[in-house]
Amino acid sequence: MQRTHSACIRVRVAGSKGSVREYWGKFRVAILPLTPSSSGRRQTRTKALFSRKNRSKIWKISNLTPSFPACHTAFAMSAQAVTATSTSVSEAAWKAIEGGYDLQVHVAPDVIERRIDDIDLGHEFLKRGLQGFVLKSHYLPTAERAKVVTKAVPGIHAFGALTLNHSVGGLNPVAVELSGRSGAKIVWMPTVDAANETAGRVGGPNTKLPFWAKIQRELAATGIAPPPLTVLDEHGNLNEAARRCLELIRQHNMILATGHLGRKEIYALVRGAREMKLQRVLVTHAEFPSQSLTGDEQAELAQEGAFIEHCFTTMHTGKSPWEDVMVSIRKAGPERCVISTDLGQTINPPVSEGFAMFAQTLMDAGFFPADVRVMAVTNPSALVN
């Protein structure tokens, strides 16, 4: 007797001439034992995604709407519960990220101690079959460093970036222009100096603090504490300084990243970027505490044309549950998501290993290797190239 239950799954229906249609929703699912009696014709019509803990089961889709001809093949992605980082990485996970780009790494040289420098990271990525990375600093431009890494490690593509904090003049069009001329790929809106970001302020939170919070508080203790930065004016619209920066980002075809802005700022920035015809917009680590965007909000921003970034460290360090990111990715769709590590800290895993752990955790949660590849390889490549 078949056991059935309801499950939220994605169904991929392969049609004629290589076309694929996808459906996501709640369906009745029948669980069939993988025995000789269930082989043959039925098995050729139903291919399965085997969970690591339940290899003896296959999924058969029933009551699918819209219906599909018998000759089609259904691939069901079950929503498996994952509550912790998967640290045992399979070859399939490494294969899924092969040729990938990590769009957010924090490595030496930096004002904060790091576990590896940028050239050694290049060698690490090359050994693992990864294509490249974007060097992020909260305080200094990195375009020149990236060019050195690319030359020093043939086969690796390192990209520089700029973060619009007070150390570069805040929302400073001169810094954006010169970074664009230097070949920088990403411009992050304010992060540590954003009005929305309180982790580095005296009187701010004191648990699970990022490494840069100590520097921010030390600066404030010496009297170096310029006013926090925002991209909005008093009416809730993008201010003139932000618009000038966006125009230069557009002219140099760089990626606009939202940094540590708050919810209202992110929406205004994404919509403003669309109006100003920027081609590449990335919502930065959507689950990070100072952003904490819901799955529905992420899906809405994706519909506005933005890619949604999910960072390994946010979940790995307990700042957000793994379950939340799984739900959010399914709502926005892997085709609008990017996975990055945000790694380089001395106490966290090596960058490439963290990248693979992220892939494995997603696969253990029911994502296809192809979905992971879209988020780790296809989408990042499209953004930086």
Tell me: the pLDDT tens digits for 92-145? 999 999 999 999 999 999 999 999 999 999 999 999 999 999 999 999 999 999
Say if residue 154 is in the same domain as residue 251: yes
The answer to whether 79 and 8 are in contact (CB under 8 A) is yes
Say if residue 71 is in the same domain as residue 100: no
Say if residue 186 is in the same domain as residue 222: yes
Distance of alpha carbon 46 from alpha carbon 23, whole angstroms: 16
Say if residue 43 is in the same domain as residue 158: no
pLDDT value of position 215 = 94
What range does the domain containing 27 cover? 3-78
pLDDT value of position 371 = 98
Total number of domains constituting the chain: 2
Q: Where is the domain boundary, 24, 49, 78?
A: 78
pLDDT band of residue 204 (cuts 50, 70, 90) is confident
Percentage of residues of the chain with pLDDT beyond 70 = 79
pLDDT at 318 over 60: yes
pLDDT value of position 205 = 84
Q: Where is the domain boundary, 16, 47, 78?
A: 78
Tokens in use for 204? 């701010």
User: Is residue 175 one of the residues assigned to a domain?
Assistant: yes
Say if residue 267 is in the same domain as residue 314: yes
pLDDT in tens, 207-253: 888 889 999 999 999 999 899 999 999 999 999 999 999 999 999 99
Distance of alpha carbon 291 from alpha carbon 321, whole angstroms: 14
Say if residue 181 is in the same domain as residue 60: no
pLDDT in tens, 170-187: 999 999 999 999 999 999
Say if residue 130 is in the same domain as residue 25: no
Distance of alpha carbon 371 from alpha carbon 335, whole angstroms: 8
The answer to whether 341 and 106 are in contact (CB under 8 A) is no
Say if residue 107 is in the same domain as residue 62: no
Contacts of 134 (CB under 8 A, 6+ apart): 101, 102, 103, 104, 105, 146, 158, 159, 160, 161, 185, 186, 384
Backbone angles phi, psi at 217, to 5 degrees: -75, -35
pLDDT value of position 303 = 98
Say if residue 135 is in the same domain as residue 164: yes
User: Is residue 51 one of the residues assigned to a domain?
Assistant: yes
pLDDT band of residue 14 (cuts 50, 70, 90) is very low
Contacts of 325 (CB under 8 A, 6+ apart): 287, 310, 314, 315
pLDDT value of position 10 = 52
Percentage of residues of the chain with pLDDT beyond 90 = 76
> What is the mean predicted confidence (pLDDT) over 343-364?
98
Say if residue 97 is in the same domain as residue 28: no
> What is the mean predicted confidence (pLDDT) over 195-208?
88
Say if residue 153 is in the same domain as residue 67: no
pLDDT in tens, 65-76: 333 332 222 333
